[in-house]
Structures are given as C-alpha cells and as structure tokens.
Structure 1
Amino acid sequence: MEVLGQLAGGVAHEFNNLLAVILNYAAFVAEELAAGPVPDREATGRDVAQIQRAAERATALTHQLLAFGRREIIQPTVLDLNDVVRDLERLLAGTIGEDVALSVDPAPDLWPILADAGQFRQILVNLAVNARDAMAGGGTLSIDTANITVDAGSLADAHPPGGRHVRLRVRDTGTGMTPEVLAHVFEPFYTTKTDGTGLGLSTVYGIVTQAGATVSVRSHPGTGTTFTIIVPVTDQVSTTVPESPARRHTPAGETVLIVEDQEALRAVTERIFTRSGYRVLTAVDGRDAVAVSAAHPEEIHLLVSDVVMPGMLGKEAAARIRRDRPGIKVLFMSGYAQPVLAARGRLDADVDLIEKPFTAAAIIEKAGQVLHG
C-alpha cells in the first residue's frame, strides 16, 4: 500500500505540473488570438511549442508507467543482444560524458533471445544515465554480455529458471548505494536525485519482468553498482526482412471508417484524414461502425478503430465488418491495448496498432503502411 500511495502521489505530481503548463500556455495563446486579427506570430509560436513539449513529456511519462506495470505492448523479435549494445555504444558514450570511460565487452557467438530491441535499448540508456549520475567525479561504465547456463535456483537473488541464458551486466565505479536505498531501488517515483522522476529503474524492472527475464543489483557505498539481467535463450529462428525505403502513401480516393467513442478524438482524427486527402466515415462505437459499414454501398478501404469501447470492443467490430468486407484493412489505435489485442503483452503478428497519443504525421504514415500491406 505504501508503494501504491507513492505511485499515485508521483503520478499526480508529475501530471499536475504538465497540465499546469498546458492550461496556462493555452490560455496565453487564446489571449493572443483574441487581442487582434494579426497576433504576434513569434510569441504565439513559442507558446504553442511549450504546449507541445509538455504533451510530449506526458506521453513519455505514460509509457514509463505502462512499462513499470508490465502493460506496454511489445513486439519481440529474435535478436543478438550484442547488436543492441553495439548500436547504442556511440550514443551511450555521448550520454555519459567525456569524464566517464565506456568499456564494452560483448561475448563472441552470443546465443539469441526473443525480446523487443527498442525496450532493451531503453534499459541500457536508463542504466547508463543512472550510472553517470553516480559518477559525478568521473569513472568507468562497463557493459558486458555472456552466455551462461543456470542451475535452477543457483542465483538466489534473481530466481531465474534453469537452462541457457544470456547475461547482460552493467557496472559503474560510482558512489554506490546504502542498504536503505538499495531496498527501494526499483520502486516508482523513489529517487535520491534532486531533479529525477524516480521512474528510470522502475521502468527497467517492468521491462525486464515482462520480457520473462530477471534483474538483480549489487551495490555498496564507495564501490559502485552492478546490474545483472538474465534473459532466457530462444530456439526460434530469426526471420529478419530487409527494411524497405520509407515512403509516404498518397491517397487515391480511399475511404476510411473511423471508430472512436471519445467525441473530441473522433473529430480530430476525422480532420487529420480529411485534410490528408481521404474520404472519411465516422462511427461513435463498435455497433455504430457495423451499421455504418452495412449501409455504405461503396468500398471501405481502411477501418481505423479504437480498441476499448463500451458495448463492443474494436476487435469484435472489425471481425463483424470483415465478414462482409473481407478485403478491408484494419488499424487499431489505443493507449492501453494489452487486454484485448496481445498475448502476454506481445502484439499479435496479424495486428496493426498505433499507440495514443499520436501525431497527424504518425497516424497518416501508419495508415499508408497498412494500406500497402
């Protein structure tokens, strides 16, 4: 209950700060527009930029909270963890600063794992930032990987299952942690930093746990900190497909059916697709979408549907519409789709999803990808 109270208080504090920025800068913009027919465009632009930055920080905070709660939608692939480390090496070197030496020691012939590469990048960045803050006077950040075979229960502090695993270890030579701090290290909004949110390490814990891996930490004051992540090996074979060049789809008269029970979001999504050149139909919920589809005599090329709606979920509405329109493409949109679209938090292979909140550019690009197959 203490941790839940800490979580609720932290969420309220962070979002209240962001909402205060958004509300007040939106009021400034309204005043500037009401002041005359030609407002100060430069000043208005700066105010709008503040609103956008606050909204982006709120989006990032939401994803961190979902990761902590193991509710993020993940898209795992067969990957070599060494590739993730190597791809991030230059970024990490710039993140930790010139006074901290970076040592990377990838094991040869590392066994493959089934994981979301983007989430493991987030783990490494969070651990690197945490290590940098613990080495204000300089030091060394070491990252190494290894193949290990675990006897069941041999690592009492992590409790990984027996069998073949890949070990990712991140070590620093910083100030270390006292036993009191160490006991709370993965708790949300717990931080010893004056400018920290306290979500970095709790996010790491959530990601690792959702991936079926384990994380342990050893630290003592004055001797630095070591994080050890142990990930089960996969027997799946990589089916990597070369990425095609990015291109934006140019609408050619396609019709889109937008299904969203929140009126304001439905209106803004309709506006996004209309101004991008699509013909747009709208529905207020799943049942209404089935009725709109049945009444429309011409082809509907794309269904863009919310996931969780009262009365009928988006997935059920899509299934019913597909009975009469087997060729229709479907794009789901949701900020929390796990309960109805994914197995164990992993996005099903045949599902296309864009996460809320989205930008106009992001949803139009995703719609083009779905239409192109």
Structure 2
Amino acid sequence: MARDREQQKGDLLVLAPTGEDATVIARVLSSRSFDTRIVASLTEVCELLRNEEGLSVSGLVVTEEALEGEAAVLIKCLEDQAAWSDLPTCVLIVAGNPDSAAVRWRFFEALGNVTLLARPLTVEALLSAARGLLRARARQLQTKRHLDELKAAALMLEQRVAQRTEELMAVEQTLRQAQKMEAIGQLTGGIAHDFNNLLQVISSNMELIKVRIRQGRMVEIERHAQSATEATQRAAALTHRLLAFSRRQTLDPKPVDANQLVSDMLELLQRTLGPSISVNTAFAHDLHLALCDPPQLENVVLNLCINARDAMPEGGELRLMTENSKLRGRATVLHDLPEGDYVVLSVTDTGCGMTPEIAAKAFDPFFTTKPIGQGTGLGLSMVYGFTRQSGGKVTIDSRVGAGTTVSIYLPKLEGDDFPVAIKSQAPTAPLVASPKTVLVIDDESAVRTLCAEVLREAGYNVIEAGDGLAGLSLLESNLHFDMLVTDIGMPGINGREMADRARRTRPELRVLYITGYAEKAAFPNGNVDPGSHLLTKPFAIQDLLARVEQIIAAEKS
C-alpha cells in the first residue's frame, strides 16, 4: 500500500451522483491512504484535466449513471489531452442491465483506457481497481518525464546549434573582412604601382621640357609633351576601368544592335589581332536590341578580343557569337539575374585556356597572368563592372588546352521609344561663327580656368563660377546662357541638383557634365538624364570643344 501511495501524484476523482455512493467510495479509498476528490459532474472533471495538463488527476472512478447524457463531454475532453496523457478510468456498472451494457460498450470503444467493475463490489475489488489506476497513471507520468527530457535536450541542442551557427557566422564575417582587406590591399597596391609609374613619366617629361626651354632646344619639346600626354591618357584609361569595375561610371544607355556594332568593329579587330588569328562570326538573325552604353560595349568587345589574342600566341580562331536568351525560374537563380529576355554576346578563342582556380580570379582587379608590363589586370574586371551596372552579367567558361568563352548578358530593350544607336562618333569642332555664352562651374579653380581659357580662345563668351550655389545664383538671374558646363561633385549642392533647380526657370537649358567620378547621389541609376551630356575627366581640349559645339548645334536644329 505504501508503494501505491508513493506512486500517486494527484487525486483520484470520484463521480457518483446517486445517494451516498460518492461519499462511501471516497471514505474507503481515503482509509487506505488514497488521495481522493469528489466531483459533481463530468464538466468539473474536464476542467481539472485542462488545468496544467491534468497533473492534479491520477484517475477517475465514475458510476455509469453519471455518464448518461454527458458521455460525449468526457470523450471530447479526453481526446484533447496532452500527448502523454490517457486518463485511467474505472466505470462502476450494474451487472445484468442490457440497456447499460449498450452504453457501456459505446463508451469503452470510444475511450479505450477504461476498466469496467460490476456492482455490488467488494472493498478489495475497489482497492485493486484504484491501484491499477495509479499504476497506469504512474507509467504515463514516467512517459511525460521522458518527453520533457527529450524536449529539454532538443532545446539545448537547438541552442547549441544556434550558438555554433552564430560563432561560425562570426568567423565567416571575420574571414570576409580579411578577404576584403586583402582585396583592398591588392587594389590599392596595384593603383599605387601603376599611377606612380605614370606620374613618373609625366613629371620627368615636364622637367625635361623646362630644361629644353632653358637650353633653347625647342625641337625636342614636342616629343616630351607627347610622352606626357600618352601617360595622361593611360592614367585616364586606368581610372575609367577602375570606375567600371566598381560600377560607379556614369553610363549613357541607348538601344544597340549588337550584330551591327560587332560588324562595324571587324576591320579594327582584324588589324588588332593580326594575321595569325582568323575572326569568325555567328549572328542571331532575330537578335533583340540591347540596352547599354554603345561606346562602353565597344570597349568591352575590344578588351575581350585582345585577351583572346594574348591567349593564342601561336595563332588560332576567334569566334564572335550573338543570341537571345530567355531567363525564367531556376535559370534566374543560377545567373543571379531577374527574369526576362537578354542579349548574349560571346567571345570564344582556341587558346591555352585557364584552370578553375585562375578562372575564379579572372574578374579580380589587378589580377593577371601576363608578364610584368604586359597587362594591368583590369580588363576583365572592367567587363564585369560594366555588365553588372548595365543590368546584366558576364560568365567565363574555360578549359586548359581547349580555349575560353566569355559571355556577356545584356538586358533586352523593352519598347521602341529610342532611335537605334550603333556607334558613337565624335564630331570635329570648328570655331563658332557667332559668340555663344557658356557658364563654366567647377570648384577646382585650375580645371575651371583651363576650360574657360580653351572656350574663350574658340570664340565663346565664358562666365565662371566656383561652386554650385554661385552658379545657381547666376542661372536664376536675367543673364543669357546658351549652355552650362559643370562639374558634378561640388560643395554645397552638386552639379546635378543645381542643373535640376535651374531648369525650373530654364527648361531648355543644355548641360554638359564634366567629372572624373559621378557620385551615386547625383545619378542613382548610373545614367545621365535626357537632355544632358557627359564628358569624363581627364579629357582632351579638342574633345571639350567638340562636345560644346555639338550640343549648341543640336540646340539650333
């Protein structure tokens, strides 16, 4: 009996609504140290079972008359028990009652964990049934403890996994930061190396020009000036490629027929590649128009072809191919591009190819396998930046000894609101026939003064301003201006914001932006506004004059 008592963790409920049955049953059980509790209805039984998962209940002793009309209530309540609980129930039946037998069996089939005990019954029969209820409940509580232990272990495991995941993410973040710093170190080191060389060439030539002037050897000045100019152009190309890689160059996207663009470049490409390399094309006949910056696309094609030439020192075949591509579903994930139609331009060579390790680094800035002095390592990184900024991507497929294919994906032009642009041509710039007034704004006084001097010598009336606020004040005055030449990044307000505000009163204002770096704040999508033009620093004097004349001539027409 003591053992049974130790197993009891809750009350034995007694439900016997007729006469003194409940009192008698409870007294007998209590006399044997069973904790009992008399309940008035099945509803009360259900309330106790719902409270704290029924831990306060060890079992139920119920007379069959108490089930009349309320059996469904108890069945529903038992169906809603916790997973570990199956309340042991002892039903006290009246032997030989055919009506009660039918109810009894329906109840038994519905519940399962029920003991039937016929009345009248002996004390020992009642105590034996009570002990059975307690043992059954004790096993259920043991199951609950095991479940709780499993839940606790699962929670602990989940916490450890979360902690470990957090630690791994921290390590990964540290690794990414280290890789980022390594890349920045490689980038800045490459920039410093190349620019120092170029600055050395420019500085030395300028010093020699001064010496030759003092010596009176004027005939040699042009040679030194040309050398300095070429170094300046190489420096400009280097910065342009860096901006392209970082996707910070300002683009002027137009509809482009890639078939026509490549066709127009074939003569140039054949001269560049040399007689040992044959150039073949495979153009799609129904090729979509692409939307991108035409001169930049020409530069990309030329870079890819030069890389292909360098991979075929003994000669070989170069193949230029175009096709349409429709990316949907899984393909968009694989290419990391939005769903849509794309124009694909591929350059394939029969050269030496690359190992997977080298191909994985091919787009890294300043990474090159060429000998020192034969490559900057910025060609493919520029291609990567241009395609990404244009809404596309570039892929590389290479096998050692089998050649390389580089494919660029460019978004298809949606709509036909643009005239097709195939190649950009820089017009020559004659001196102006009648004076035009140009407002020049740049916070760098040396640049502003040089631009103004060049334009004045070409016959323009020039007014200067040192920053955006001063320029805006002039534009909001009654002075007449035929066009505006302005830097973009300036203190106060940038050139883009100044031009936008000026156009509120001068809607037809023609603008030429001159900049070495177009901040994203000025051009969030990386593209110049319609009606505006861009000239990237450093630029040649003739390029500035040509663009100004072109813009003014367009205004006349």
Q: TM-score, normalised by structure 2?
A: 0.62
Q: 2:375 aligns with which of 186, 190, 196?
A: 196
Deviation at 1:162, TM superposition (A): 3.2
SS of residue in 1 equivalent to 2:224: helix
Pair 1:341–1:101, CA change in 2 (3 A): same
1:259-283 CA-to-partner distances (Å, cap 9, x unmatched) read 1111111211121122111222221
Mapped pair 1:289 → 2:471: yes
Within a 5 Å distance, the mapping from 1:332-351 to structure 2 comes to 332-351=513-532
Gaps of 5+ in 1: none
Pair 1:121–1:315, CA change in 2 (3 A): closer
Higher relative contact order (CA 8 A, sep 6+): 1
The residue that corresponds to 2:255 in the other structure is: 78
SS of residue in 1 equivalent to 2:520: helix
1:217-246 CA-to-partner distances (Å, cap 9, x unmatched) read 111211111112223322221632799986
Mapped pair 1:208 → 2:387: yes
Deviation at 1:316, TM superposition (A): 3.2
1:223 maps to a residue whose letter is A
Q: 2:443 aligns with which of 261, 264, 271?
A: 261
Deviation at 1:44, TM superposition (A): 1.0
Q: Quick check: 2:277–2:315 contact (8 Å CA) kept in 1?
A: yes
The residue that corresponds to 1:371 in the other structure is: 552
Q: 1:277 aligns with which of 456, 459, 472?
A: 459
Moved more, 248-257 or 179-188: 248-257
1:15 maps to a residue whose letter is F
Deviation at 1:352, TM superposition (A): 2.3
Q: How many residues align?
A: 369
SS of residue in 1 equivalent to 2:511: strand
Mapped pair 1:167 → 2:355: no
Deviation at 1:199, TM superposition (A): 0.7
RMSD: 2.4
Mapped pair 1:6 → 2:6: no
The residue that corresponds to 2:219 in the other structure is: 42
For the residues of structure 2 that align with 1:42 and 1:188, how far apart are their CA atoms?
Answer: 41
Pair 1:155–1:216, CA change in 2 (3 A): farther
For the residues of structure 2 that align with 1:98 and 1:210, how far apart are their CA atoms?
Answer: 35
Deviation at 1:326, TM superposition (A): 5.5
The residue that corresponds to 2:488 in the other structure is: 307
2:406 maps to a residue whose letter is F
Deviation at 1:79, TM superposition (A): 2.0
The residue that corresponds to 1:240 in the other structure is: 419
2:213 maps to a residue whose letter is L
For the residues of structure 2 that align with 1:141 and 1:155, how far apart are their CA atoms?
Answer: 29
Pair 1:255–1:163, CA change in 2 (3 A): closer
Deviation at 1:325, TM superposition (A): 5.3
Q: Quick check: 1:152–1:163 contact (8 Å CA) kept in 2?
A: no
Q: TM-score, normalised by structure 1?
A: 0.91
Deviation at 1:292, TM superposition (A): 4.5
The residue that corresponds to 1:121 in the other structure is: 298
- Specify which structure has the higher proportion of helix: 2
Pair 1:222–1:157, CA change in 2 (3 A): farther
Deviation at 1:47, TM superposition (A): 0.7
The residue that corresponds to 2:18 in the other structure is: none
Q: Which has the larger radius of gyration?
A: 2
For the residues of structure 1 that align with 2:426 and 2:544, how far apart are their CA atoms?
Answer: 19
The residue that corresponds to 2:212 in the other structure is: 32
Q: Quick check: 1:251–1:276 contact (8 Å CA) kept in 2?
A: no
Within a 5 Å distance, the mapping from 1:130-169 to structure 2 comes to 130-154=307-331, 158-169=335-346
For the residues of structure 2 that align with 1:155 and 1:285, how far apart are their CA atoms?
Answer: 45
Mapped pair 1:17 → 2:197: yes
For the residues of structure 1 that align with 2:270 and 2:402, how far apart are their CA atoms?
Answer: 22
Deviation at 1:291, TM superposition (A): 4.0
Pair 1:241–1:80, CA change in 2 (3 A): closer
Gaps of 5+ in 2: 1-179
For the residues of structure 1 that align with 2:437 and 2:488, how far apart are their CA atoms?
Answer: 20
Deviation at 1:70, TM superposition (A): 0.8
